[in-house]
């Protein structure tokens, strides 16, 4: 039987390519106003990059952190349409999401590319929310652990245990993202325990016990409390439900022990 861990919960909202300028500000105002006072429940929101500075202004003085949804691995250069990690810092970000399945599978981002991006983001001073997860076909072929193993080993290659203090992992089974199909508590806990075990092998037990592992994939207010209270689930990465403040805040409330 495990004792209750001391890890805080991090609930992050990935707004993807949604919101107008006005809607982004309105949503950020509502999230900041309703953020839990409990320091063990932390919130972050990740708006489209064009709204980052506006949302940063709204969040000033609040407990809610700001994140980007992607970044390049170079410091600057002729990379049309891209953002350097330091630009996210300048815009007021503390976090960046890397390796989201929509980037891996929609934009062909490889483990090697994500490793470069992770190193660059950490070097710039960002915290990285590093996403991993298997496709439905991979789960059905019983390859979930092999996929997670590869994504962690290659994606985090060369990082030091000290750098891992600034990495949050997000286990997001691809078949659960935006589909309304949520992983069962047993599936989520088994995957999270596997991920923590793999981190122990790569970086040692101290890092593994400290690292936050979020679950992502159709998290909603009605399933949040169950998922967020599993022993190895340390928060949630929320897509659709993060676009409505009342849903996002209700999910965060589910993190209360």
Residue 72 annotated as catalytic:
no
Pick the catalytic residue from 102, 127, 172, 192: 172
Q: Nearest distance from residue 19's CB to ligand PEP, in Å?
A: 14
The contacts of residue 256 (CB under 8 Å, 6+ apart) are 36, 38, 41
Q: Nearest distance from residue 80's CB to ligand PEP, in Å?
A: 25
Residue 100 annotated as catalytic:
yes
- Rank residues 156 and 227 by Cβ distance to ligand PEP and give the closer one: 227
- Rank residues 207 and 247 by Cβ distance to ligand PEP and give the closer one: 247
d(CA 158, CA 165): 14
- Rank residues 172 and 232 by Cβ distance to ligand PEP and give the closer one: 172
Q: Nearest distance from residue 12's CB to ligand PEP, in Å?
A: 9
Residue 31's nearest CA partner among 49, 44, 14, 50 is: 44
Phi, psi of 235 (to 5 degrees): 140, -170
Q: What angle do CA 108, 114, 116 make, to 5 degrees?
A: 130
Query: Look-up: residue for tokens 């995957």?
Result: 191
Q: Is 25 exposed, middle or buried (0-12, 13-18, 19+ CB in 10 A)?
A: middle
- Rank residues 211 and 219 by Cβ distance to ligand PEP and give the closer one: 219
Neighbours of 57 (CB within 10 A): 11
Pick the catalytic residue from 72, 100, 127, 192: 100
Phi, psi of 234 (to 5 degrees): -115, 30
d(CA 164, CA 183): 26
- Rank residues 84 and 247 by Cβ distance to ligand PEP and give the closer one: 247
Q: Nearest distance from residue 215's CB to ligand PEP, in Å?
A: 9
Residue 227's nearest CA partner among 156, 164, 159, 176 is: 176
Q: Nearest distance from residue 169's CB to ligand PEP, in Å?
A: 13
Residue numbers at the binding site for ligand PEP (CB under 6 A) = 14, 100, 172, 177-178, 216-219, 237-241
Residue with nearest beta carbon to ligand PEP? 239
Neighbours of 26 (CB within 10 A): 14
| Beta carbons of 69 and 100 less than 8 angstroms apart | yes
Query: Look-up: residue for tokens 């992992």?
Result: 169
Give catalytic residue positions.
100, 172
């Amino acid at each position: 039987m495990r004792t209750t861990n001391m890890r805080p919960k991090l609930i992050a909202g990935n707004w993807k390519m949604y919101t107008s300028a006005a809607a982004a500000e309105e949503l950020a105002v509502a999230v900041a106003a309703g953020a839990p006072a409990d320091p063990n429940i932390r919130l972050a929101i990740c708006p489209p990059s064009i709204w980052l500075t506006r949302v940063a202004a709204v969040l000033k003085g609040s407990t809610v952190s700001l994140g980007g949804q992607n970044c390049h691995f170079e410091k600057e250069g002729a990379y049309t349409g891209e953002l350097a990690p330091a630009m996210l810092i300048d815009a007021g970000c503390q976090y960046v999401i890397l390796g989201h399945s929509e980037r891996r599978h929609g934009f062909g981002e490889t483990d090697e590319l994500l490793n470069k991006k992770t190193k660059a983001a950490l070097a710039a001073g960002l915290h990285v929310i590093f996403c991993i997860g298997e496709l439905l076909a991979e789960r059905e072929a019983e390859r979930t652990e092999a996929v997670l193993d590869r994504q962690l080993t290659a994606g985090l290659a060369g990082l030091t245990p000290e750098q891992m203090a600034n990495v949050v992992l997000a286990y997001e089974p691809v078949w659960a993202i935006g589909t309304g199909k949520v992983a069962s508590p047993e599936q989520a806990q088994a995957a999270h325990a596997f991920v923590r075990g793999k981190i122990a092998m790569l970086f040692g037990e101290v890092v593994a016990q400290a690292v936050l592992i979020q679950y992502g994939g159709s998290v909603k207010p009605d399933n949040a409390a169950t998922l967020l209270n599993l022993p190895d689930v340390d928060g949630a990465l929320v897509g659709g439900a993060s676009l409505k403040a009342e849903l996002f805040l209700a999910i965060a409330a589910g993190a209360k022990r």
